[in-house]
Structure 1
C-alpha cells in the first residue's frame, strides 16, 4: 500500500467516524425540554467539530459541509441563520488582523522590534528568550493573528540565532544546543500573550462577542488591565521554568547581542513605511484601549488600520487577495459562529449547562469556577484550534459558572484568558503550535510534556494571582 493510498484510507475512516457520530446523535430522541430541531442541530454541530479535530478534509471544507447538511436537513434556515456568522463584526476583525500582520512583516518593523530586544537582553540563552518574550508582548495587542506574530515575525529570528549557533533539527545534539529551547519557550510564551489581550489571538474577539451574547461586556481595556499582572508574572516564570526542565546545552551566546546590533546597524534608520506602520500601530493601540470612551468599535479600528496601510502602499489589494489564511478564516470561523448561534437559541447550551450545574451543585462558586477552568483547559486535547473550542464550549461553561454564583465578569474573563492559554499544550493546539512542531526542533513527547506543564502553571497563576488582582481592580 502506497503512502497516498494509506492517506486516503485514513481520510475515509475519519470521515466515516464523523458521519457515524452525527447520525447516531441525530437519531436520538430529544430529551425533555428540547425540540427535535435542537437535537438535529447539536448532532450536526458536534459532527462538524469532530471533523475539525480529525480533519478528513481541510477545516474550511469541513465547515462548509457541516453548514450544507444543516441547511438540507432544515436544522438551519438558509435565509435567516445559515450565513449570519459571516456578517459578524468579530469575524471581520480577525480578517483585518491578518492584513495588519502583513504590514508588520512587509515593512520589516516586526523584525526590527525583535532585534532591539535581543540586542539588549541577548547575552545568554535565557536572556534571548526573555528578549523574544518582550517582543511578543509588545506586538501582541496589535497582531490578533498569533500565528502571524510568532511565525512571520519572531520565528525567523529564532531560526537565525539557532543557525548561527549551529543548532538545527538535523540531530538531537544539534537541536538541543539552543533551537529547541527557544522554539518551545516561544510557543508557550505566545499562548500567554494571546491570553492577555482581546486582540492578541483570533479567538479573542469571538469570546468577547459570545460573552456579550450572554449579557457580559468585556472591553479591550478591561481585558488588558485584567491580564497584565498574571500575564507578566507568567512571562517571567515560563522561560525560566522551561530553562530548568528542558535546558539548552548552550547557556551563553556572547555573539547574539553583537549580531543583533550589527543587523540593526545594517538596517539603518526606520524607513518611511516603517514609521507609518509604527504610527498606525500606536494609534490602533490607543483607539482599542479607549474604545469604551470613544464608542469606536475594535473592528472599526482594525479596518482604519487596514485602510491606512492600503493608502500608504504598505500592503496592496493583491496582497490581501492572496492572503488565503484570512479568507479561509472568514469562512471557517464565520460558519462555526453561525452554527453555534441557533444551538444557544434552541436551548441546547442551557440544557447541557443544567446537567453540569447539577454535578457541581452545592460547591462554592470559587471552586466551581476553578474546576470549570481546569476542565476547559484539559478539554483542548480534543480540539485543534482555540476558536473551535471557544465556539463549542465557552457559552456553556460561562453559563454554568454564573448559575453557580460566580461573578459574570470574572467568569467571562477567566474562560476567555484560558482560551489563549490552551494554545500551546499540544502540537495541534493552535497555528503557532503546529508551526513550531513542524519546524522539527521539538519532538512530540517533549512538546506534550512542556505544553502541559507550562499550561497548568499558567492556569494556576490566573486562578490565584489573577483572581486576587481582579478583586483589587473591582472585577468581582
Structure 2
C-alpha cells in the first residue's frame, strides 16, 4: 500500500512537471486589418482621375492599403506583403507571374545576401575583433564613435557605386558587432543601449554620402545621363562632388547630433571602453583560420564591388560569389543561412513593394502624376516652381521602394518642367540628383540599405519614420539654404 501511494505521488509530480503547451500567439489584429482593407476599398471604388487607367488606379489602391498595413500592422510585415500579393492576383489587377516578379529583383537579393555576410562576421568573431579595435580608438564617447563610422563610409563612397553593398555589406556588420559588444540586442530588449542610435546614424549617413559623389549610388550616373539626354546638361564627376561637398559635410555633422538629441543612446560615455577593448583583443589572441577566411572574402567582395563593373560582375553577383566562398570554406553553414530570419522576412515584404512600385510606373500612374505636377507649376516664378517641384519629388518617395526606380520614373520629367519654368538647368539637375539620394531617409523601404538596417530590429518602424521625417526637413534646410548659398558662389545660379 505504501509503495502504491509513493508511486501515485511520483506520478503526480511527473504530471506537475510536464510543461503545459502554450497557446500560439495570435498575430492578427482584426481591427487594424479592417481599417487597412477599408482604406484600400474606398480608393478602389473611386473613379480614377482623367487620364489614368483603371488598372493603375486599382493597383494604387492596393499599394496604399499595403503602406497603411505596414504602418498599423494588422499582421507582421511579411504577412501584409503576402496578403497584398494575393489580393493583386485575386482581383485580376496583375497576373501571378507579375505579382511574383519582385523576387527577380537583383537589389533585393543583394540586401538578403548582405544579411548572410554579416552573419559571417559575427559567427567567426571577426566582427567583434573589428568592433573592439574601433572601441579602443574611438570608444570614449558614443557620439564620437558614430562620427568615426560615417568617416569610414565617406572614404568608401567615391569608389563604391552600390550604397547597399557599402552600408549593408560593410558598415552594418561592424555596427551590429559594436552593439553586441556593449550588450545591445533586440533579442534581449536592450537595443536602446547603443545599437538603435548607431544603426540610425549609419543609415542616415549612408544617404548623405551617397548624395556626395556621382559614383556613390547606382542611380546617380543614371540621373547624369538623363540630364544630358533631356536638356543637354553635362554633369562631371568633379562638378557633382564640388557642388555637394559643403552641404554634404554640414549634413554629416548635423544629422548625427540631431539623432543623438531626439533618440539618445543609454550609453553616452564609456571611459573604460578602450581598456576593456584592449583586454578583449588580448583574450581573443591571434586571428583564427575562419577569421582569415572572412577577411579574404571581405576583400574579395570589396574588390568586386569597386572594380567588378570592368569585368561585367555586378554588385549582387559579387555578393553571391562571396557567400559561395563562405559556404565552401565552412565559415557559414546552410543552417546559418536558414536561421537568418531577418533576411527571409525582408525578401518577402521588400519584393512585394518593389513589384507594386514598378507596375505603378509601367501602368502610367507615375508619369500621370509627373504631368499633373508640371501643369500645377506652370506660370510660377522659377524659384518657387523649383521649390515646389523639389519638395514633391522628395516626398513622393513614400510611393517608391527603390531610389533607382524613382529617378528613372520622375527625374527627367521634373527636370524638364523646372527648366521650362525658368530654373537654371545645372542647378536643377544637381538638386534633383542630390535629392535622389537624400529622400531615402524617410522610410524603411525606400532605398537599398534601408531594409538591411531596419531588418536588424534595432529601430522600430514608428521611430524610423518619425526621425526620418525630421531629418528630411533638416536636409531640405541645409541643402536648400547652405547649399543654395554655396551654389551661388559656384555660379550655378
TM superposition score normalised by structure 2: 0.69
Cα deviation code 1:412-460 (max 9, x no counterpart): 6434422443369xxxx9775794457xxxxx99x99876655543454
Cα deviation code 1:81-128 (max 9, x no counterpart): 222111122221122111111111112222222221221223455444
For residue 15 of structure 2, what is the aligned residue in structure 1? none
> Pairwise mapping of residues 274-293 of structure 1 onto structure 2 (< 5 A)?
274-293=291-310
For residue 54 of structure 1, what is the aligned residue in structure 2? 72
Matched, 1:422 2:426: no
Structure 2, unmatched stretches of 5+, are 1-22, 157-162, 212-216, 230-236, 420-424, 445-449
Structure 1 CA distance for aligned equivalents of residues 406 and 341 of structure 2: 27
2:59 corresponds, among 41, 53, 60, to: 41
After superposing the two structures, state which structure 1 stretch, 336-345 or 186-195, moved more: 186-195
For residue 269 of structure 1, what is the aligned residue in structure 2? 286
Structure 2 CA distance for aligned equivalents of residues 75 and 145 of structure 1: 36
User: Which protein is bigger by CA-based radius of gyration?
Assistant: 2
Conserved? CA contact 1:110–1:153, under 8 Å: yes
Structure 1 CA distance for aligned equivalents of residues 332 and 76 of structure 2: 27
For residue 121 of structure 1, what is the aligned residue in structure 2? 138
Deviation at 1:142?
4.3
Matched, 1:190 2:203: yes
Structure 2 CA distance for aligned equivalents of residues 469 and 45 of structure 1: 39
Deviation at 1:336?
2.0
For residue 368 of structure 2, what is the aligned residue in structure 1? 351
Deviation at 1:130?
3.6
For residue 77 of structure 1, what is the aligned residue in structure 2? 95
Cα deviation code 1:356-382 (max 9, x no counterpart): 3333335577766655555566678x8
Change (3 A) 1:74 1:126: closer
Change (3 A) 1:216 1:433: farther
Structure 1 CA distance for aligned equivalents of residues 331 and 482 of structure 2: 41
Conserved? CA contact 2:441–2:471, under 8 Å: no
For residue 159 of structure 2, what is the aligned residue in structure 1? none
Change (3 A) 1:116 1:136: farther
Matched, 1:102 2:116: no
Conserved? CA contact 1:42–1:343, under 8 Å: yes
What secondary structure, in the 3-state scheme, does the structure 1 residue paired with 2:286 have? coil
The CA RMSD measured in Å over matched residues stands at: 4.9
Structure 1, unmatched stretches of 5+, are 161-167, 170-174, 199-203, 439-443
Give the aligned length: 434
For residue 152 of structure 1, what is the aligned residue in structure 2? 176
For residue 29 of structure 1, what is the aligned residue in structure 2? 47
Change (3 A) 1:123 1:50: closer
Structure 2 CA distance for aligned equivalents of residues 343 and 299 of structure 1: 25
Deviation at 1:401?
2.7
Cα deviation code 1:229-260 (max 9, x no counterpart): 76555444444566688889998643221111
Change (3 A) 1:21 1:452: closer
Cα deviation code 1:126-182 (max 9, x no counterpart): 44444455567789844527995477323223447xxxxxxx98xxxxx9xxx57x8
TM superposition score normalised by structure 1: 0.72
